[in-house]
């Protein structure tokens, strides 16, 4: 087994193919050598056309015809100069290079014939011998090109396949470069993510130290009480579904409720707890709306179309609020908590703790989201790296197998994978 680097494998493999297809290359080289002579003679013959004495009787041409001849010659010679002949202009004889040569000869014929149909009639009489000479060389070139094409189709298909096995080497190299780029990004992202986590931890520690303040501890305790009592108040309110139905009916104009407008009940739907606490313990406005709503609910025509069980629960809840004043103690408890909260908020504000706490919480919240998103991006990059590494390994193994099949020798392609 030979170990060969990826950078060297293509040249090494092509040299092995030169040995395997030595006879075929020799035949093609013979054709190409003859073609080179014919192409050179064609080029030289054409160039002499421009050197004729156009004032002489034999080659006399007007200025326009002379310019047409010169443009025609320049165009054909330019195409001749573009033809690259394997083993002469190109070091390696290969199926691809040989096929490109044949295609370029076809292009030469196309240019010569298409432009010649328009140009040659302008100077054909004066250049009959020269045209026959060039046509003769081109026929020979055409015959040789047909022989080359036939030989490629009949005797060099194995060579075509063998040479094609290394077509994926550039892509393999490109993937290795990509892998290195991704690895570099991953390393940078790992460092950045670590810095982000350290920043998050630092802010969390700052918030923890801040929470040692006794006033802040009391403030947070009151906040927890407030949350509990707010939820208790919210759970007590059962009329929201009836208000939603009533609001839609008022908007559509399918129901008329004296003294109730859609704008009156909207705040109790959007944020009932906030609205009720703003209104105060007596909640006269809410009670008035609830009394009118109860009349609608007790209507035999059932204008709000609520299920019977729900309608009964809402009527009971309205009675608890309107007749039994069961909502008032809950409101007072919430208002009392709000007052105590504001008292301690003032203390914290004097110490400057409240703003620090708010800023730290906001910063921690944002940093937590940033860490999560960045961590997901990093996972995606690592997954991309792993998949590409797997593909590179597969493509390298596949290339080694194909090379072994073509030249009968086991090789190990050495590639440098970024760590």
Q: What is the pLDDT of residues 308-343, one digit of tens each?
A: 899 999 999 999 999 999 999 999 999 999 999 999
Residue with more model confidence, 145 or 347: 145
Structure token pair of residue 280: 């105060």
| Environment class of 42 (CB within 10 Å of its CB; exposed 0-12, middle 13-18, buried 19+) | buried
pLDDT over 90 at 154, yes or no: yes
Work out the pLDDT band at 210, boundaries 50, 70, 90.
confident
In the structure encoding, which two tokens stand for residue 351, read together? 């110490």
- Tell which residue, 368, 418, 359, 364, has the closest CA to residue 389: 418
Burial tier of 151 (Cβ tally within 10 Å: 0-12, 13-18, 19+): middle
Arithmetic mean of pLDDT, 345-359: 87
What is the per-residue pLDDT across 40-71, written as a single tens digit (0 to 9) for each?
999 999 999 988 888 888 889 899 999 999 99
Q: Which two tokens stand for residue 270?
A: 């959007």
How much is the average pLDDT of 216-239?
93
Average of pLDDT values for 81-98?
A: 90
- Which residue has better confidence, 418 or 14? 14
Domain boundaries, the chain: 22-155, 205-367
How confident is residue 213, by pLDDT bands cut at 50, 70 and 90? confident
Spatial CB neighbours of 314, under 8 Å, sequence gap ≥ 6: 238, 239, 241, 242, 297, 306
Q: What is the pLDDT of residues 258-269, one digit of tens each?
A: 778 888 889 999
The angle that helices 128-155 and 22-49 make with each other, rounded to 10 degrees, is 160
- Retrieve residue 213's tokens: 């303040």
pTM for the predicted model, two decimal places? 0.63
Task: Please give the pLDDT value at position 419.
Answer: 67
Q: Over range 200-226, report the average pLDDT.
A: 91
The strand ranges marked E within 241-374 are none
The pLDDT value given to residue 298: 87
Give the per-residue pLDDT at 262.
87
Contact 292, 257 (CB under 8 A): yes
Chain mean pLDDT for the chain: 92
**Residues 399-416 pLDDT 10s:** 999 999 999 889 999 998
The pLDDT confidence band at residue 255, using thresholds 50, 70 and 90, is confident
DSSP for 195-206? HHHHHHHHHHHH
pLDDT of residue 88: 84
Q: What is the per-residue pLDDT for 110?
A: 95
Instruction: Using pLDDT thresholds of 50, 70 and 90, give the confidence band for residue 137.
Output: very high
The pLDDT tens digits of the residues spanning 20-34 come to 999 999 999 999 999
Q: Give residue-wise pLDDT tens across range 159-187.
A: 999 999 989 899 999 999 999 999 999 99
Mean pLDDT is lowest, of 145-154, 204-213, 367-376, for 204-213
């Amino acid at each position: 087994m030979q170990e060969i680097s990826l950078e060297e494998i293509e040249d090494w493999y092509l040299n092995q193919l030169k040995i395997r297809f030595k006879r075929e290359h020799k035949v093609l080289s013979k054709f190409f050598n003859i073609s080179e002579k014919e192409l050179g003679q064609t080029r030289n013959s054409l160039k002499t056309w421009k050197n004729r004495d156009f004032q002489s009787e034999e080659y006399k041409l007007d200025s326009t015809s002379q310019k047409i001849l010169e443009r025609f010659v320049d165009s054909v010679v330019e195409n001749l100069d573009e033809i690259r002949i394997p083993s002469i202009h190109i070091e390696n004889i290969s199926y691809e290079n040989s096929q490109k040569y044949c295609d370029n000869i076809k292009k030469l014929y196309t240019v010569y014939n298409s432009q010649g149909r328009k140009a040659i009639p302008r100077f054909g009489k004066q250049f009959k011998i020269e045209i026959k000479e060039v046509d003769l060389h081109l026929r020979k070139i055409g015959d040789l090109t047909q022989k080359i094409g036939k030989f490629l189709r009949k005797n060099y298909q194995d060579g075509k396949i063998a040479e094609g096995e290394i077509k994926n080497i550039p892509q393999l190299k490109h993937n290795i470069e990509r892998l290195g780029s991704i690895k570099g990004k991953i390393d940078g992202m790992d460092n950045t993510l670590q810095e982000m986590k350290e920043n998050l931890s630092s802010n969390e520690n700052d918030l923890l130290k801040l929470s040692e303040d006794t006033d802040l501890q009391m403030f947070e305790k009151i906040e927890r009480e407030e949350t509990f009592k707010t939820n208790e108040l919210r759970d007590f309110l059962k009329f929201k579904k009836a208000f939603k139905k009533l609001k839609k009916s008022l908007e559509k104009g399918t129901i008329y409720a004296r003294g109730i407008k859609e704008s009156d009940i909207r705040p109790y739907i959007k944020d009932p707890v906030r609205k009720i606490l703003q209104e105060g313990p007596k909640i006269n406005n809410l009670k008035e709306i609830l009394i009118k709503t109860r009349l609608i609910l007790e209507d035999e025509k059932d204008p709000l179309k609520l299920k019977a069980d729900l309608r009964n629960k809402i009527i009971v809840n309205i009675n608890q609020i309107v007749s039994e004043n069961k909502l008032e103690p809950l409101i007072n408890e919430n208002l009392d908590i709000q007052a105590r909260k504001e008292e301690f908020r003032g203390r914290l504000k004097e110490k400057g703790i409240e703003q620090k706490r708010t800023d730290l919480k906001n910063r921690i919240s944002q940093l937590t989201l940033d860490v999560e998103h960045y961590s997901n991006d990093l996972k995606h990059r690592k997954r991309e790296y792993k998949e590409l590494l797997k593909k590179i390994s597969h493509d390298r193994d596949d290339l080694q197998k194909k090379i072994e099949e073509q030249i009968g020798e086991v090789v190990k392609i050495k590639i440098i994978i970024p760590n």
